[in-house]
Structure 1
Amino acid sequence: MHLRPHPIVGPILLLVCAHSEVAVCLGRVS
């Protein structure tokens, strides 16, 4: 599986990473 920079996939991956980090932080706090 190659990872190629893509104008649509890039921002989506960033959103997914940010969302997962927020979920982890909320899970630790609560």
Structure 2
Amino acid sequence: MAKGLQQKKETKKKPAKTLKEKRADKAAKKGG
């Protein structure tokens, strides 16, 4: 149960980071 909870938390945390990283990647590609 604890493992599932941790995974759920990480899944919730990851999307936002991935989105920000994707945006940064696009900006870097445009600027580069």
Identity %: 0
Number of residue equivalences? 25
Aligned alpha-carbon RMSD (Å): 1.0
> What is the deviation of 1:13?
0.4
- TM-score, scaled relative to structure 2: 0.62
- TM-score, scaled relative to structure 1: 0.64
> Deviation above 2 Å: which 4+ runs of structure 1?
none
Name stretches of at least 5 consecutive residues in structure 1 with no aligned partner: 1-5
Query: Rg: which structure is higher?
Result: 2
